[in-house]
Amino acid sequence: MKRGLFLSAFTSDPTKPLEVARRAAAADYDAVFVYDHVFPPFGPERPSVEPFALLAAAAAANREIGVGVLVSRALFREPGTLAKEASALGHLSGGRAVLGLGLGDAAGAAEHAVLGLAYPPLTERAAALEETALAMRALFAGGTWAGGHTVPAIAGPLLPAAGAEVWIGGTGETAVRAAARTADAWNGWGMSDEAFVARAEQLSELAADAGRDPGDVAPTWAAIALVGSDAAELATLERDREARGGSLDIWRGTGDQLRRLRDDLERLGVTWMIPLAAGPADRVEFVAETLRS
């Protein structure tokens, strides 16, 4: 199982997540990931670093680590441009890039409005999501996209050619079904352990229903994770987080509990664990060591 680390990009200072990326590379994470937001959900007064620029800088400075966007909403970026941006990350990371795509949620509409973009109903976004995933995979393979109902024809090819894995992220059945039919992997973000397992099992069933080998579309796990060395330290970290106004509706556990989760997920066929290491700065290294041991 590969280990990724989410970078927090909700800052006006890109050197902060870039420093975390440097530490992630030193701690032997396989990749760093970042979300695609104009501003934090429901926080238009707060900044967010542009993800492709941030990851390009991280990849250029840390040649041993992969990079991924998780996720960019369908219809948020023009598909041809999106393919070129993700392809550039593929070049810079030595072919270890991930382009995650998503449906968007209630918070996404406000970001689209700021940029003058339409935010159609869920059914239209779902159709665009599947077509975007198929178009990206065709272009990354050096081909063309013939066009569909929502994503127009893209002549391609991208030159010079570079690939990226295409993931679809989301917690609901619509996203899981789209991943099963069109993506290289599915990502479940911030789910309870039980809910994640249920969706991962559903992913396998839906892939088979779509005529695909379930092994060709893997489940991947991601969450904000607060991890303590033992129960006492975890309780201290929880109190500190709550005192600062941070939500406790996140994954919380000891190092032993995180390792047990890792082992359970690996048996389920999960190929990546991607925490956003909450708490003090040393959690970046602590989580890496916990998942490695």
The pLDDT score that the predictor gives to residue 159 is 78
Q: Would the pLDDT of 161 be above 80?
A: no
Q: Looking at residues 239-268, what average pLDDT do you find?
A: 97
Kindly give, in sequence order, each residue whose CB lies less than 8 Å from that of residue 220, ignoring residues fewer than 6 positions away.
Answer: 167, 185, 186, 187, 188, 270, 271, 272, 273, 274
The pLDDT score that the predictor gives to residue 156 is 85
Kindly give, in sequence order, each residue whose CB lies less than 8 Å from that of residue 259, ignoring residues fewer than 6 positions away.
Answer: 290, 291, 293
- % of the chain exceeding 70 in pLDDT: 100
Task: Classify domain 2-292 by CATH number.
Answer: 3.20.20.30
The pLDDT score that the predictor gives to residue 152 is 95
Tens digits of per-residue pLDDT, 31-74? 999 999 999 988 999 999 999 999 999 999 999 999 999 999 99
Q: How confident is the model at residue 107 (pLDDT cuts 50, 70, 90)?
A: confident
The pLDDT score that the predictor gives to residue 255 is 98
The pLDDT score that the predictor gives to residue 163 is 84
Q: Sign of torsion, CA 204 189 151 95?
A: negative
Decide: 149 and 130 in contact? Cβ < 8 Å. no
- Computed over every residue of the chain, the mean pLDDT equals 96
Place of tokens 């927090």: 8
Query: Rounded to an integer, what distance in angstroms lies between the CA atom of residue 186 and that of residue 250?
Result: 20
Query: Rounded to an integer, what distance in angstroms lies between the CA atom of residue 92 and that of residue 94?
Result: 6
CB atoms within 10 A of CB 141: 13
Query: Rounded to an integer, what distance in angstroms lies between the CA atom of residue 23 and that of residue 284?
Result: 8
Q: Looking at residues 127-136, what average pLDDT do you find?
A: 97
Q: How confident is the model at residue 160 (pLDDT cuts 50, 70, 90)?
A: confident
Q: How confident is the model at residue 186 (pLDDT cuts 50, 70, 90)?
A: very high
CA angle 241, 246, 249 (to 5 degrees): 100
